[in-house]
Structure 1
Amino acid sequence: MPEPTAEDLRAVTETLSRLTDYLRSGPDPDEALALVEPLLDELIGLPLQFADTLRALARALHDHPDTPRTTEAGLLIAQLRAAASAQEDQHALHYLLDDLRDLYDDAGAADGPGCAWCR
């Protein structure tokens, strides 16, 4: 697989920006949830991927011979690792999507005959 380029990553961020703009336009909730679902996949979603990316960056910088062996460099690399951990904590967002989907499914069932308390 070829190495990613800065242009590849700009395309990814542009796609995310387009998704954000689209979600701001008020699409159907089922469609909105379906679009976001791959981003929040519990195993390969963005929170985990980004956490792995930050850790890999920290490792690459730490292990590179040109990286200064100073307290400041060590603290900056530690901050990258802390950011990775914080990002990884967001992996459970996929459960939120399940709950939202259930909420909308329940609301759809509530549109049937009878009063809201009877359903």
Structure 2
Amino acid sequence: MPALTPDTIRTLTETLADLTDYLREAPDPAEALALVEPLLDEYNGLPVQFADTLRALARAVQEHPDTPRTPQGNLLITELRTAAWELADQHTLHYVLDELRFLYGSSPTHAAVCSRAAE
């Protein structure tokens, strides 16, 4: 795996910002759902991945030998873990996508989105 840098993470957040801007332009709902679908995957979507990231950060900070062992430090680590649980609870958003697809009577595929992106 290539080394992660703050710039690679910024690129990720810029891509999410681009997606948000695109969705504000009111695209076809089927296309919008297909674009958002990977983000809300119940196993690998953003809520699950970001929750795992926060837990890993909390563990890295807590286990590092230079981390001060103070009540404030413990509270901050607890806040990271609490936020992780709250984010993980959002994993059920994939059901919302299922219902929206049903509402629009569509079943978008990744291939359809990929073919449009290649144009």
The two structures have a TM-score, normalised by structure 2, of 0.87
Structure 1 stretches (4+) deviating beyond 6 angstroms? none
Give the aligned partner of residue 116 of structure 2: none
CA RMSD of aligned residues (A): 0.9
- The alignment of Structure 1 onto Structure 2 pairs a total of residues equal to 106
CA distance in 2, matches of 1:20, 1:70: 39
CA distance in 1, matches of 2:12, 2:89: 22
5+ residue gaps, structure 2: 107-119
Give CA deviations for 1:56-112 in whole Å, capped at 9, x if unaligned.
000000000110000000000000000000000000000000000000118xxxxxx
CA distance in 1, matches of 2:76, 2:57: 11
| Structure 1 position 4, deviation (Å) | 1.0
Describe how 1:1-119 pairs up with structure 2 within 5 A: 1-105=1-105
Residue 8 of structure 1 aligns with an amino acid whose one-letter code is T
3-state SS of paired residue (1:60): helix
Kindly, what percent of the aligned residue pairs are identical?
66
CA distance in 2, matches of 1:5, 1:41: 25
CA distance in 1, matches of 2:5, 2:96: 33
Q: Which has the higher contact order (CA 8 A, sep 6+)?
A: 2
3-state SS of paired residue (2:2): coil
Structure ID, larger Rg: 1
CA distance in 1, matches of 2:7, 2:44: 22
Give the aligned partner of residue 109 of structure 1: none
CA distance in 2, matches of 1:80, 1:42: 21
Residue 43 of structure 1 aligns with an amino acid whose one-letter code is Y
Residue 59 of structure 1 aligns with an amino acid whose one-letter code is R
Residue 19 of structure 1 aligns with an amino acid whose one-letter code is L
